């Protein structure tokens, strides 16, 4: 009964300095949910971009419904009934839902004159019918910029369906969604399959694969490692195949050895850019050898707190002490030099300069120091050797070594670069905001292990995370932020996950 709809034979794609896909042979069956699993940079998006006509393979061929095809443009892919939802949506934000969906495939009706006009009414009807059929709720007349991310994603899906796509590719569709929205999307994906569509789902979240996929292929560094029936494999096995070695789901962590106080925040009140008090009267301290984890739902003041401590946002009232010195009014660089490192939430706009090379990003906090320059001149060899060493120690992978432009690197490797740069400053205080967001399981584990290792080296760690499991796995002390106030604070062993969750929802007021 299983009929092959897409076949890949010896697909190979090289980019300068890297083989993104290395001799991939794969068959996808009609009507299945086929997951493509692999760490950041494994080659998943590249492979699917070729099937969608965005790149041409250097070698190999695609067969669709048994026919050898040359897919040299997305239009060609659409003609073969292939659709793709990209990681970054491709919608025109001041157009309506329907306008976006029909763009390029409008049906027109002739009025009296010679100019055809777009038959919007009819298209709206068709869109509404598709929404209904697949459970893709969205107002066909809404303007894109007024829609939430999850709604925009539905528009992208409708766009494919409107073009009669039979083979639907999703590139990490859940990375931008909340847990509830994820469940919703997974149900939509099931609906698609149940209506006879073939779905190719790129993800690195093993539990999602377990929930919806029929089969999965695992890629590692451009090579196809294995194909498995999902019902016949375990999350453990998938994880092992993905990273190439066994990984520990639980962290090996000794009890904390609390030392002297490194950071003290005293009755801190911080306004955000809209002059709203995002942080109110917050007090806590972090010691050497301690991971202080702040839990909270997004938007409860976490980012403002971290920005205020690191000096990016001014303080309205209260004080910040670093090793007993009041740093409340100090500049960002002065705080850095005193021993504060910051791994910000927004790694692309705050953490890195995307158009600079890896080397230049790695020396960003060092280039002005003696040893890195001679008079007004920079010491290029020193920059290079330093950047090379960090890349090696922190396993930062990139296409052209330290000369790679950071923008082209995968998210996991960008994050590793920031962490390398910040940790290498040997700061007593390290602030991490969402350090593992969007990363795959291998990178997540290695970053969490790094955090604990730094703690064991006597650093004070402030970890701010939206992931409750991250908080529970790493924390020595847990604080919960809700509406800008600290709701509770306790040693990790004294709070279970449900209780923390309840505080995060503001359920427990004292």
Ligand X SMILES: Nc1ncnc2c1ncn2[C@@H]1O[C@H](COP(=O)(O)OP(=O)(O)O)[C@@H](O)[C@H]1O
List contacts with ligand X (CB under 6 A).
15, 18, 20, 38, 40-46, 399, 408-410
> Closer CB to Mg ion, residue 169 or residue 492?
169
> Closer CB to Mg ion, residue 38 or residue 301?
38
> Closer CB to ligand X, residue 142 or residue 176?
176
> Closer CB to ligand X, residue 47 or residue 475?
47
CA distances from 30 to 1, 35, 165 (A): 10, 14, 13
Provide the minimum distance between the beta carbon of 11 and Mg ion in the complex, in angstroms, as a whole number: 16
> Closer CB to ligand X, residue 5 or residue 358?
358
> Closer CB to ligand X, residue 304 or residue 440?
440
Provide the minimum distance between the beta carbon of 135 and ligand X in the complex, in angstroms, as a whole number: 28
Instruction: Report which of 4, 8, 101, 81 is spatially closest to residue 48, judged by C-alpha positions.
Output: 8
Please identify which residue in the block is written with the tokens 């025109």: 92
E strand or H helix that includes residue 282: strand 277-287
CB-based closest residue to Mg ion: 45
Instruction: Report which of 354, 339, 351 is spatially closest to residue 461, judged by C-alpha positions.
Output: 339
Residue 156 neighbours by CB distance under 10 Å: 19
Q: Would you say 177 and 150 are in contact if contact means Cβ atoms under 8 Å apart?
A: yes
> Closer CB to Mg ion, residue 175 or residue 490?
175
Provide the minimum distance between the beta carbon of 500 and ligand X in the complex, in angstroms, as a whole number: 32
| Contact between 45 and Mg ion per CB under 5 A | yes
What does 285 bind: Mg ion, ligand X, none (CB cut-off 5 to 8 Å by kind)?
A: none
Provide the minimum distance between the beta carbon of 64 and ligand X in the complex, in angstroms, as a whole number: 21
CA-CA distance, 43 to 428, in Å (whole number)?
38
Instruction: Report which of 393, 451, 442, 438 is spatially closest to residue 246, judged by C-alpha positions.
Output: 442
What does 447 bind: Mg ion, ligand X, none (CB cut-off 5 to 8 Å by kind)?
A: none
Provide the minimum distance between the beta carbon of 171 and Mg ion in the complex, in angstroms, as a whole number: 6
What does 410 bind: ligand X, Mg ion, none (CB cut-off 5 to 8 Å by kind)?
A: ligand X
| Contact between 174 and Mg ion per CB under 5 A | no
Instruction: Report which of 43, 44, 68, 47 is spatially closest to residue 56, judged by C-alpha positions.
Output: 47
CA-CA distance, 287 to 466, in Å (whole number)?
22
Provide the minimum distance between the beta carbon of 182 and Mg ion in the complex, in angstroms, as a whole number: 18
| Contact between 300 and Mg ion per CB under 5 A | no
What does 71 bind: ligand X, Mg ion, none (CB cut-off 5 to 8 Å by kind)?
A: none
Token pair of 412, please? 């996991």
Q: Which long-range contacts (CB under 8 A, 24 or more apart) does 354-357 make?
A: 354/405, 354/406, 354/407, 355/405, 355/406, 355/407, 356/405, 356/406, 357/402, 357/403, 357/404, 357/405, 357/406
Instruction: Report which of 66, 71, 50, 78 is spatially closest to residue 7, judged by C-alpha positions.
Output: 66
| Contact between 203 and Mg ion per CB under 5 A | no
| Contact between 150 and Mg ion per CB under 5 A | no
Provide the minimum distance between the beta carbon of 507 and ligand X in the complex, in angstroms, as a whole number: 38
What does 43 bind: Mg ion, ligand X, none (CB cut-off 5 to 8 Å by kind)?
A: ligand X
Contacts with Mg ion, residue ranges (CB under 5 A):
45
């Amino acid at each position: 009964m299983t009929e092959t709809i897409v076949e890949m034979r010896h697909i190979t794609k090289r980019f300068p300095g890297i083989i993104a896909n290395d001799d991939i042979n794969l068959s996808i069956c009609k009507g299945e949910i086929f997951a493509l699993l692999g760490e950041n940079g494994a080659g998943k998006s590249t492979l699917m971009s070729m099937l969608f006509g965005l790149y041409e393979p250097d070698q190999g061929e695609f067969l669709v419904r048994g026919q050898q095809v040359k897919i040299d443009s997305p239009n060609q892919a659409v003609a073969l009934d292939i659709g793709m939802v990209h990681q970054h949506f491709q919608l025109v934000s001041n157009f309506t839902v329907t306008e976006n969906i029909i763009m390029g495939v409008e049906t027109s009706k002739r009025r009296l004159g010679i100019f055809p006009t777009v038959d919007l009414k009819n298209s709206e009807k068709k869109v509404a019918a598709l929404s209904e059929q697949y459970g893709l709720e969205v107002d066909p007349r809404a303007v894109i910029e007024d829609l939430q991310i999850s709604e925009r994603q539905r528009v992208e899906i409708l766009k494919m369906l409107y073009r009669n796509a039979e083979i639907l590719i999703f590139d990490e569709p859940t990375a931008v969604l909340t847990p509830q929205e994820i469940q919703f999307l997974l149900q939509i994906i099931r609906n698609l399959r149940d209506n006879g569509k073939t779905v190719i789902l790129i993800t690195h979240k093993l539990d999602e694969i377990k929930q919806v996929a029929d089969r999965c292929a695992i890629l590692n560094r451009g090579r196809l490692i294995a194909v498995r029936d999902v019902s016949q494999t375990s999350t453990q096995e998938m994880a092992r195949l993905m990273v190439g070695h066994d990984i520990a789901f639980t962290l090996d962590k000794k009890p904390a050895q609390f030392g002297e106080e490194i950071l003290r925040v005293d009755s801190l009140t911080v306004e955000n850019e809209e002059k709203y008090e995002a942080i109110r009267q917050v007090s806590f301290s972090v010691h050497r050898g301690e991971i202080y984890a702040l839990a909270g739902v997004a938007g409860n003041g976490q980012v403002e707190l971290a920005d205020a401590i690191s000096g990016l946002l001014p303080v309205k009232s209260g004080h910040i002490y670093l090793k007993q010195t009041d740093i409340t009014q100090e500049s960002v660089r002065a705080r850095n030099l005193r021993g504060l490192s910051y791994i910000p939430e927004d790694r692309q706009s705050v953490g890195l300069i995307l158009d600079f090379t890896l080397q230049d990003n790695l020396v960003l906090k060092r280039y002005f120091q003696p040893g890195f320059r001679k008079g007004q001149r920079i010491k290029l060899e020193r920059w290079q050797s330093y950047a090379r060493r960090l890349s090696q120690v922190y396993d930062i992978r990139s296409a052209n070594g330290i000369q790679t432009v950071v923008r082209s690197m995968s998210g996991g490797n960008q994050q590793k670069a920031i962490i390398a740069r910040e940790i290498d400053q040997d700061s007593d205080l390290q602030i991490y905001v969402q350090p593992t967001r969007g990363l795959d399981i291998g990178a997540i584990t290695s970053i969490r292990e790094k955090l604990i290792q730094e703690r064991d080296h006597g650093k004070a760690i402030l970890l701010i995370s939206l992931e409750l499991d991250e908080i529970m796995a790493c924390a020595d002390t847990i604080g919960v932020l809700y509406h800008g106030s600290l709701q509770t604070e306790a040693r990790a062993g004294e709070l279970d996950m449900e209780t923390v969750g309840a505080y995060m929802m503001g359920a427990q007021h004292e």
